[in-house]
Every structure is written in structure tokens, then in C-alpha cells.
Amino acid sequence: MQSLALEFLKVTESAAISAFPWIGRGNKIAADDAATTAMRDALNQVPMEGTIVIGEGEIDEAPMLFIGEKLGRDEIIEVDIAVDPIEGTTPTANGQENAITVIAAAPKGTLLHAPDMYMEKMAVGPKAKGKINVEAPLIDNLKMVAEANGKDISELNVAVQDRPRHAEYIDTIRKSGAKVQLFKDGDVLYAAATCMEHIDIDMFLGVGGAPEGVLSAVAIRALGGELQARLKPRDDGETDRCKKMGIANPEGALTLNHLVCSDEGIFVATGLTDSFLLNGIKCNNGEYKTHSILIDGKENQLRFIESQYNAKPAPQTI
């Protein structure tokens, strides 16, 4: 897996550069299509036999990089792939912060195979590993995380996406005395940031996409933290899809080991627009500068990488 790390970095950089012309143009579909096309082309150049296990739809729908799609140019290394060509299509279209291109990969058979649907997620850093329970009351989790981090609960900082569905979470956190850090978009980076000492986020909580949950899980496992989750089927159709993919209890608790059961995961994200963690793409006279994060599970190492490209992205019809 380690031999593929820089290959996956090229994949997210390529997707970000291709989506760059669409920043602020109000067309998130076109931006996503540009990133997806570039990501697929780049993945097909990677020396692997890759399978999308978490993507943007099922094989019979095939809207973008679909679940079950095979990518790569040989069969030497078999790889599971979770992908989001643009996490944050709305901020991309609106020229706002927190848009990234992101991919996670692990050895074949080690990533959760689940539909593109909602997932409840709770994440913490290494100090609170083993102290959370997604099925327990939120107040109990807050107390345990505060204790594990050597803090009073009033010092606890919990990241929650600013959505109406999270009103009850936000109310409980504030009533406990803890602080809420609301954010608009980009829950993958906020979940992973619980494992970064230089970022003051003790806990991440919310209901969002299952692809983002698996992507986050790869980064969090690599950095020694913990993520627990529960899928949130909205109807019998989604429940049936989960069962067809081998998830016997679609609403049961998912531990980190359910989401990714390998210590050799690779996580890569490239900034498309500026965020609290990554700089967005900068362009000057056809020269592109990218800023990415690469997390290697085998080494338990996080790297920030700047790259420079002189080639212009493929022409876009705008």
C-alpha cells in the first residue's frame, strides 16, 4: 500500500486542478463531473486492481465513480477504494471555504461496503480511544471524552455540522457546558482533526454521508483515534440495499474495525478552496500550486505536501 501513496496524491491533485475552473461559477454538477473524470483517469493509471467500495451510487445507477467500479492498470495489488471527487460541491460552486478532493484506500476486503446513504458518526482522538459508545446517551460520551482528555466538560470543544437535523445534539452539548464549533461543510477533515494535537477539536459528532464516514475512518485509524457509526436507512429500500451488501443489521453500531479493518490504509485530501486545515489551489500564469494532506496508516504519519504543476488543466466549456 505504501508504494501507492504518492500515486493517490496525484489522483486528488489532478481532480482538484480539473475542478478549479468551476470555483465560484454556480455549477456544482459541472465541478463534480470535472473532478470525477480526472480522478477516474488518474486512478486508471495506478498500478493496482482497485474496486470502489464507497462511492457516489450503486453500479446500476452509475452516476459518477460508482460502487463496484474497477480501476487501475494491473493486478499486482488489490485495493478497496473510498472516494469523494469533491467533498463540498456547494462551497465549490459558491466560491466558499472547505471544499476538498479526497480518497482513501486499503487492502482488498478491509473497507466497509455500504450504500451511499446517511450515517451517524462520532469521532475522537487517541486520548479518548475506547471511551465512546455511539449507542450511549450523548451526555455520557461527553463526560468520558472530557475525562480522557484531562479537561473539565466546560473546556470540551465539539465539532458539529450546522444542519437543522443536529439541533438536538447542539442543545445537549451546550446544556452540558461544553462548547460547540459549528461548521458548514467538510465533515471529513473535521472528523480527522480530532486526531491532530494542533487543532482544538476534542470530538466530532453528526449525521452525514456514509462515504465521508469511511473516508474519515481511514484517516482516524491511521492516526490512532476512534470513530463509531450507525447507518441511517430512510426507507425499506435503503435497508434492503444494506442487506444485499452484507450488512445484516443495517442500523446496528459500527466500530472502527467494521469501517476499516486494516492498519495499512492511505488517506489523501487536496484543498480545492481554503479550509482550516488546507490551502485551496493557487493559480498564477498557468502555474498551479496545491496543498494536500497524506496520512499513512502503516507509519502512523501525517504529512502536509505542497506541489507545483505547470501544465494547464483540460479545457472546460464554461
What is the predicted pLDDT for the residue at 57?
57
Compute mean pLDDT per 10 residues along the chain, 318 residues long, and list them: 91 96 95 94 95 70 72 89 93 96 96 86 97 96 97 97 96 97 93 94 95 95 96 88 83 93 96 96 91 93 92 50
What CATH number does the domain located at 118-259 have? 3.40.190.90
Rounded to 10°, the helix 138-148/167-176 angle is: 50
Q: Where are the domains of the chain?
A: 1-108+265-309, 118-259
Burial 170-201 (b: 16+ CB within 10 A, else e): bebbeebebbbbebebbbbbbbbbbbbeebeb
Q: How far apart are CA 297 and CA 262, in angstroms?
A: 8
Ranges of beta strands (E only) in the chain are 49-54, 70-71, 78-87, 100-107, 118-124, 157-161, 179-183, 203-209, 226-231, 253-254, 266-271, 282-284, 287-296, 301-309
43 exposure class (CB count in 10 Å sphere: 0-12, 13-18, 19+): buried
* Known binding-site positions for Mn(2+): 32, 56, 84, 87, 212
In this structure, what are the phi and psi dihedrals at residue 70, rounded to the nearest 5 degrees? -100, 135
DSSP 75: S
Give the annotated binding-site residues for substrate.
87-89, 118, 163-165, 185-187, 209
Spatial contact of 205 and 171, defined as CB atoms under 8 Å apart = no
User: Do residues 217 and 80 touch, judged by C-beta distance below 8 A?
Assistant: no
Using DSSP's 3-state secondary structure scheme, residue 77 falls into coil
- Give the residue ranges of the annotated binding site: 32, 56, 84, 87-89, 118, 163-165, 185-187, 209, 212
Residue 230 DSSP one-character state: E
Which one, of 80, 68, 7, 101, lies nearest residue 265 by Cα?
Answer: 80
Q: Is the dihedral of CA 191, 137, 258, 207 positive or negative?
A: negative
pTM: 0.92
Alpha helices, DSSP H, located in 123-196 = 138-148, 167-176, 187-192
| 258, amino acid identity | H
DSSP tally for the chain: helices H, then strands E = 9, 14
pLDDT at position 61, please? 45
Architecture of domain 1-108+265-309: 2-Layer Sandwich (3.30)
**What value, to the nearest 5°, has the Cα angle with vertex 291 and ends 68 and 276?**
95
